[in-house]
Structure 1
Amino acid sequence: MPATARNVVPDQEDILLAKEASRLLAKLRDGDEPVELEMRRNGDSLSLKLPAPVVRVLLDALVGLSDGKPVTVVSQDTVLGTVQAAKFLGMSRTHLTKLIDSGEIKHHMVGSHRKMMFTDLIEYKTNDDEYRLRKAAEADKIAEELGLM
């Protein structure tokens, strides 16, 4: 895994702690002001300010962990290979390669290996999700017009 990615797979204790932390942090989610946190571990304590966008990212991560899901935080400038990219997009490497070859997903070559910027994968995923939602809405409309709903 690249040095710009951190993966957390929660155990039962992590899940319980994440549930409580997400419940409390959700109260501070809204707003653009920094959030001040007091933290303690083994007698050491510190106070820090987190920017509002970081609070929202932290809350998203805690919600995922509280559901028992692994969470990965990835820097926007991370470069992924085809195996990592396919896993992120939830598709086979073969299908990803077809999308790359057709130009639907941007990539660059490093030797003989296809590499993708994480931001390009996010862009593809966002566009694909929007396309699927539009098509589902169109199908619902047709079904309604035909009296199937």
Structure 2
Amino acid sequence: MTSTEKEAFLPSSAEVELAKVSFVKLDKVLSERKSSDQVSCTLVINNGVEIDITPSAAQALLEVVNVISHGKAVVVNSIDKVMETQEAADFLNISRPFLCKLLDSGEIPHHMVGRFRRVKYEDLLAYKSRRITKQNQAMDELAAQAQELNMGY
């Protein structure tokens, strides 16, 4: 996850309030754009300059505005397509030894570069998605059991 140390953008209270309004508007526009299959977005700056951005950049902007609207600091970083084991473990918020067990068991694909393991970002996202799906299924089962047992949940 090659990244240089970047400074966090800490929003002022005025920026938080503006971000709340901006988030609602931007979210609405992007939702409409998704349903109409439009492929680009245009930002118009105060001086009238128009800037075309990709849908993925617009979605990233939406996420940044959402974080700012909650008064939180924002750091923008890029992620390499292939990560070392420690970077991958940090991304998944697990220990490196646990990640290595997942790699050895084949649950997450990897390849070797010399004697070092490398993991594709896409494979980490797929694992994370599977993990979230399993967690949601377990929560649904627990909720159903609680309902059957009249536990009041």
TM-score (norm 2): 0.74
Amino acid at match of 2:27: A
Moved more, 90-99 or 48-57: 48-57
Contact (CA 8 Å) 2:64, 2:74: kept in 1 or not? no
User: What's the CA shift for 1:102?
Assistant: 1.0
- 1:28 aligned partner: 29
Alpha-carbon distance in 2 for matches of 1:118, 1:74:
12
Alignment correspondent of 1:19 = 19
Contact 1:2 1:78 in 2 (8 A): no
1:104 corresponds to: 107
Greater alpha carbon shift after TM alignment, 26-35 vs 139-148? 26-35
1:52 match? 55
Residues 35, 51 of structure 1: 8 Å contact kept: yes
1:9 aligns with 8
Structure 2 runs not aligned, ≥5 long: none
**Is 1:39 matched with 2:59?**
no
Question: Which among 33, 42, 64 is matched to residue 61 of structure 1?
Answer: 64
Measure how far apart 1:118 and its partner are.
0.4
Q: State the TM-score, normalizing by the size of structure 1.
A: 0.76
Q: Once the 2 structures are TM-superposed, how far is the Cα of residue 16 of structure 1 from its aligned partner?
A: 2.8
Q: What residue ranges of structure 1 are gaps of 5+ in the alignment? A: none
State the Cα deviation string for residues 61-115 of structure 1 (Å, max 9, x = none). Answer: 332344425444546x611111111111111111111111111111111112111
Q: Which amino acid aligns with 2:2?
A: P
**Judging changes above 3 Å, is the alpha-carbon distance between structure 1 residues 58 and 22 closer, same or farther for their aligned structure 2 residues?**
same
Determine the C-alpha separation between the residues in 2 that align with 1:141 and 1:59.
35
Higher percent of residues as strand: 1
Q: Percent identity?
A: 28
Q: How far apart, CA to CA, are the structure 2 residues paired with 1:8 and 1:49?
A: 26
Query: Compared with structure 1, are the counterparts of its residues 29 and 71 closer, same or farther at alpha carbon in structure 2 (3 Å cutoff)?
Result: farther
- d(CA) in 2 for partners of 1:72, 1:89: 18
User: Among residues 129, 133, 141, which one is paired with 1:130 in the alignment?
Assistant: 133
